[in-house]
Amino acid sequence: MATLPVPASIDSEKAVLGAMIASRNFLIEAIDTLSPTDFYDQKQNAVIFKALISLYKKNIEVDNVALVNELNAMKALDKIGGIDYLLNISDISLSSSDASYHLKIVRDYSIIRTLFKTTDDLKEAYFNKPTTSDIGDFLEEYTNKVVSITRNRATGDFVDLSDVVTNLNRKIEAKYRQRDKNDVTGLDTGYKILNSLINGWQNGSIYILAARPSVGKTALALNFLWQVAYLTKKTVVLFSVEMNAEQIVERILSSVSSVSSRKFRKGNVTDSDLIALSEAETRINTTKILIDDTSGIKVGDIRTKLSKLKSRDPNLGFVVIDYLGLVRLNNPLPSNKDNIDEIMRTLKSIARDLDLPILVLSQLSRDNEKGKRQPMLSDLRDSGSIEQDADVVMLLHRDAYQKTNQVDQNTIEANDANDFSNNDTIHVNVAKNRQGPTGEFLLSFLMNISKFVELTTNSFKQGE
């Protein structure tokens, strides 16, 4: 196998050093951007860089004489090739833009070399372990290290306000041109009132959909998933920790066809039902809905799978995780609260790094049922970080079911002959909205077909 070239540019390293000698402003920029380890040439260029840092810290004006004196004090002048090598570097004349260009090259090549070394180190560590560990641990460690390295590519410079304004205006104009009839700048939720509150699903944001068991949060999440896939033609992903893929598809097929899943599970369908199911299959086949039903999935695996998918499919647009309480860490922490905190931080990081909206389902405590009241943000279970890290929190409530302790919805779907016979009203409370108003609205939950529809006359209540 031919030896691959090392990702490095000695000429760019020399150009950076020459510009540092010639310009104090660039000297400061380079010191803020690079470290000695970013230089491939450690015997010469990295040593000169260290000497320049030392002169800067001593507040000594940089020129060839001062640099020679500093290298002599470090007993390194002969090691770097003597005065001739320094003169060769200082003779390089660059404009500020050219100097910044070479600075970027040095930094980017350093990142690439670090990525390559990280891969080699992890490979060696994997094979040197006495026993083969969970592949998820290995993938999470690799992904986390890669993300950490690539994040460091940004130098943390000041941001010019004029640049921010220009970029923001471009985004506003793009959203204006792309907005749909509901004035949605994000991905259409499929529900007009929700669109008016959150402006559609926004990239980089975390959404929490929380409720007590059997209220309908999974069914509503599947409705959201379907609406994005069908209306926007984006690739959507569901991580389902409780239900397997066939159960999920049954619900989606039932919702799209308006045929009760209980009927087609029993084969108790009519000719018109079969036509509706066939038409629903055709509509579903125009979408791209991906399901991962791994039980006890780890948050590191979620990051790895989404990162790989996003690189293969730039059309990836929406992610649902059902549900937070069953997602695991590769290395669990002592308390459940600490685990949830870390998982939420990681999910938030995934949403931002991959520029995706992520909807996370969560359970509420029993406090609202005990108090016979609607849920509040304080009812979010296990961790205050759920509310803190989320951009939007939606709380679901079925007033009749939760106040009268009716039996589970699956046991009351007795009338298979009528797909629309078992309905209830769901209160959707947008209790937190980082970028907009809060408020509450109603949806009709057609439980036999796992479908949510907007009421013709909706009692919308603006939040305080």
242 is catalytic: yes
Rounded Cα distance between 389 and 411, Å, is 36
Q: Which of 124, 242, 250, 454 is catalytic?
A: 242
* Residues recognised as catalytic: 242
